Amino acid sequence: MADESNTGPVAASEAAAETKAPTAKKQRSPRRQKATEQVKESKATAAKAKKYSEQERSDKLKLIETEVAQRDSTLKDAIKRAGISEQTYYQWKRAAKPVEQKAATPVPAGDELADLVQLEKENQRLRNLLAEKLRTENAELRKRLGLD
């Protein structure tokens, strides 16, 4: 049988455990829940993006350009009167620019090589003409100076 009067190392560790009180964790306040009515209201008040057709876009761009060209207003004022943002204006303008360039010069892929060959021939012909002209001028200069 164990002697209960013996207060050895085991008894000392039990006494130390009893003196240390466990610290309670700091309690957080619960998060507030958004009311479903507030969520519905915020969605209802957000402006819906308007989709413009290509014709409407080009009409607005032309209107802005004419106002600015007539010096009636600045570019920013003309954009505001058209009812679009500056970012939208520049995006539309950038998108419209390549279309205009492509429409101006439609070149099939097969013709590009033929055009390149033709340009190289023209370049060679012009080089030969320049070389001939320089030779004749050089010869005339030599005659005048009496070097020949």
Q: What is the mean pLDDT of residues 112-130?
A: 93
For residue 105, pLDDT over 80 is answered with no
- Res 50: pLDDT: 79
Confidence of residue 85 (pLDDT cuts 50, 70, 90): very high
Q: Find the distance separating the first CA and the last CA of the chain, reported in whole Å.
A: 139
Q: What is the mean pLDDT of the chain?
A: 79
| Orientation of helix 54-69 relative to helix 75-82, angle to 10° | 140
26-72 per-position pLDDT tens digit: 888 888 776 665 555 555 566 677 788 889 999 999 999 998 888 87
- Which stretches of the chain are DSSP H helices? 9-19, 36-45, 54-69, 75-82, 86-104, 109-145
pLDDT score, position 88: 93
- Quote the pTM value: 0.38
Question: CA 18, CA 20: separation in Å to the nearest integer?
Answer: 6
Mean pLDDT of 93-116: 72
Q: Which whole-number Å values give the CA distances from 87 to 16, 69, 71, 91, 98, in the listed order?
A: 71, 20, 22, 6, 18
Structure tokens at 132: 């001939």
Q: What is the pLDDT of residue 28?
A: 82
pLDDT at position 89, please? 93
77, pLDDT greater than 70: yes
User: For the residues 105-133, what does the mean pLDDT come to?
Assistant: 86
Q: What pLDDT is attached to residue 121? A: 94
For residues 78-91, average pLDDT:
92
